[in-house]
């Protein structure tokens, strides 16, 4: 098997859904849909119109390592340094009008793992019933808590949540997707997945687009992340934006401030007023945070997972 074939195989999707038919779609850009939520206009500089500090410039960061992760709580590339997911001053700004698009398309996730432990994460709608998230939000491989391994039992999806206020209610999901590279290898280069909800919530809250962008297109581009961090009041949404710092074929690196709970959030750019995901936020580090890049195989899987 060639390296290319092996890499493609790692993107082989797996699911706990009983499949009747597997649609195939070939597209390079999946466009967003506004839904019924009142939209918020973005700014001209590619960021969202949220009051607060935005530092669009970015530090020069390292190149991406290739690693294998042993567990959901365990990313691993060998940097012998203290890591922080908030870099310097915390630039995150709270979003309070979460019922408006694009915020409405982002959901707080309350994840119940197989052993009953609960976790918080973030996901985003790409179609009426499909949210994109991190692989480690839907499938836990190689945990030192053996009863935790495997598909999570369920995820409560709370679109546009603002603390205790749930503008679009909540829905519980038990059908998920990820890929072999994550489930079998725990490799962060394949850390992405999807949640299938039982009702067409995305038609109401709207969806974000996603697309494949080349290195030249992403270099010096400002990207945005909104999600539900665990270091802020429970269930509140926080936003930050900065330029991409570096990238490789499977990862995108940036020093947008994040914290535990923001895994699965969209890393998106704004083009012609449209929000287009280019990566899925997954890891926090000392100088840089990172996400799984929407490459061609990722794009194909996400497209196939849309329902």
> Where do contacts with another protein occur on this chain (CB under 8 A)?
69-86, 110, 116-121, 134, 136-137, 142-145, 188, 191, 229-234, 258-263, 281-286, 289-290
CB of 8 closer than 8 Å to CB of 297: yes
Q: How far is the CB of 180 from another protein (least distance, A)?
A: 18
Note if 136 is an active site residue.
yes
When the beta carbons of 229 and 277 are compared against another protein, the nearer one is: 229
**DSSP-derived secondary structure for 19-81:** PS-------SEE--B-TTSPB-PPPTTSS---SS---------PPPP----SBTTB------S
When the beta carbons of 101 and 176 are compared against another protein, the nearer one is: 176
Residue 102: asked if its preceding bond is cis (omega within 30°), the reply is yes
CB of 263 closer than 8 Å to CB of 282: yes
Which residues does residue 269 pair with via DSSP β-bridges, in sequence order? 276
Q: How far is the CB of 163 from another protein (least distance, A)?
A: 10
Neighbours of 217 (CB within 10 A): 13
Q: How far is the CB of 100 from another protein (least distance, A)?
A: 25
When the beta carbons of 101 and 254 are compared against another protein, the nearer one is: 254
Would you give the distance in Å from CA 252 to the centre of its chain?
12
Note if 99 is an active site residue.
no
Catalytic residue among 263, 290, 295, 303: 263
Q: How far is the CB of 238 from another protein (least distance, A)?
A: 12
When the beta carbons of 292 and 303 are compared against another protein, the nearer one is: 292
Active site residues: 136, 263
């Amino acid at each position: 098997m060639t390296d290319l074939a092996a890499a493609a195989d790692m993107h082989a999707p797996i699911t706990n859904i009983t499949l009747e038919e597997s649609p195939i779609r070939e597209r390079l850009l999946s466009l967003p849909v506004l839904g019924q939520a009142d939209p918020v206009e973005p700014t001209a500089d590619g960021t969202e119109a949220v009051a607060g500090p935005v530092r669009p410039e970015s530090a020069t960061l390292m190149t991406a390592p290739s690693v294998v992760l042993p567990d959901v709580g365990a990313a691993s590339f060998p940097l012998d340094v203290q890591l922080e997911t908030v870099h310097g001053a915390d630039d995150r700004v709270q979003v309070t009008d979460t019922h408006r698009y694009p915020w409405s398309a982002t959901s707080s996730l309350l994840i119940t793992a197989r052993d009953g432990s609960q976790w918080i994460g973030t996901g985003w709608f790409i179609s009426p019933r499909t949210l994109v998230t991190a692989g480690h939000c839907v499938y836990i491989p190689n945990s030192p808590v053996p009863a935790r391994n495997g598909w999570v039992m369920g995820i409560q999806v709370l679109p546009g949540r603002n603390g205790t206020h749930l503008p679009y209610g909540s829905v519980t999901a038990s059908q998920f997707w990820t890929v072999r590279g994550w489930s079998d290898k725990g490799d962060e280069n394949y850390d992405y997945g999807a949640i299938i909800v039982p009702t067409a919530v995305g038609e109401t809250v709207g969806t974000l687009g996603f697309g494949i962008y080349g290195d030249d297109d992403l270099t010096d581009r400002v990207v945005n992340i909104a999600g539900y961090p665990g270091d802020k009041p429970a269930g509140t949404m926080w936003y930050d934006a900065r330029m991409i710092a570096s990238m490789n074929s499977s990862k995108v690196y940036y020093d947008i401030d994040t914290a535990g709970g923001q895994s699965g959030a969209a890393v998106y750019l704004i083009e012609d007023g449209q929000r287009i995901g280019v990566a899925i936020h997954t890891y926090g580090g000392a100088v840089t945070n990172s996400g799984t890049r929407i490459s061609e195989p990722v794009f194909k899987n996400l497209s196939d997972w849309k329902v």
